[in-house]
Amino acid sequence: MSTLLSVRNLTMRFGGLTAIDDLSLEVPAGKITGIIGPNGAGKTTLFNCLTGFYKPTTGTLRLAHPKRGEMRLESLPSHRVARDAQVVRTFQNIRLFPKMTVLENLIVAQHNVLQRASKFSIAGLFSLPGYRQAEREAVARAATWLERLQLTRFADHAAGDLPYGTQRRIEIARALCVDPVLLCLDEPAAGLNPRESAELNELLLYLCREQGVAILLIEHDMSVVMNVSDHICVINYGRKIAEGAPEAVKNDPAVIKAYLGEDEEEGVMEDYTEERAS
């Protein structure tokens, strides 16, 4: 499988604090790559560097865009990372527009396409045919993803009135509306109950296996990350301490030590995984 994203020697400093420390990793196309690590390890900072929220102190982020060729994410502003590189993220905290309907949330996400079609207001203002066509396509794209994610029945509900697990699913549907080349999910299982976590597993596997979406997944819930990831990269204090298949990573002494401290026995990570899964 070809490399989609290549992170090389990434460092991000905030004053005297080094949140990411010379990190290198490869993200393959069409696979799920898990990023795990204890609190404060630098996981979200990595996403912030990838998506243009932070400009890395040093290092390169090369995206092999299937249509545009190589793109250097570290030099793009955040709106261009989403619009041109099609690297899209969700956040730890749900950021839907709670009073808008689910369908409206998914249409707003396509504002780049609609704005272009509106010729920056004039065509939109007069509802010219090109703009109406773009609007129809935006609604159709939203309806497709709502159906694929089994959310159609909620299309006209206010997003903020829906259960937490459903809102998380809507956030993912919204991100999918911009046809991501790489979908970055920041703790999508946070706040979900075990049934919702199991449904999330199915959804992530469906997106990857059936829709070919490459996913970069930050997750603390081991019942999700260990079950769906093809490859896991473990970071601690901004440095990569292990990587590999889930089975290898969860038995890695450096990972067990990072999560549970010096004195724990091997295999506790496995117990932890099973405990979270049950």
Contacting residues toward ligand ATP, per CB under 6 A: 14, 17, 19, 37, 39-45
Q: Under a CB-based contact definition with an 8 Å cutoff, are residues 244 and 234 in contact?
A: no
CA dist 212 → 105, 148, 209, 234 (Å): 24, 14, 6, 24
Of 212, 169, 226, 210, nearest in space to 192 by CA = 169
- Nearer CB in complex with ligand ATP: 66/77: 77
Neighbour count for residue 77 (Cβ, 10 Å): 12
Dihedral angle of Cα 135, 76, 173, 138, to the nearest 10 degrees: 10
Amino acid at 12: M
- Nearer CB in complex with ligand ATP: 51/110: 51
- Nearer CB in complex with ligand ATP: 44/86: 44
| Least Cβ distance, residue 219 to ligand ATP (angstroms) | 10
Kindly give the pairing relationship between strand 69-72 and strand 58-65: antiparallel
- Nearer CB in complex with ligand ATP: 95/209: 95
- Nearer CB in complex with ligand ATP: 16/69: 16
Going edge to edge, which strands form the sheet with 69-72?
17-28, 3-14, 58-65, 69-72
88's torsion region: left (phi>0), alpha (psi -120 to 50) or beta? beta
| Least Cβ distance, residue 20 to ligand ATP (angstroms) | 8
| Least Cβ distance, residue 33 to ligand ATP (angstroms) | 15
- Nearer CB in complex with ligand ATP: 45/227: 45
Q: What are residue 69's DSSP bridge partners?
A: 65
| Least Cβ distance, residue 7 to ligand ATP (angstroms) | 14
Helix (H, G, I), strand (E, B) or coil at 245: coil
- Nearer CB in complex with ligand ATP: 21/137: 21
Of 124, 225, 105, 120, nearest in space to 176 by CA = 105
The C-alpha atoms of residue 14 and residue 225 are separated, in whole angstroms, by 29
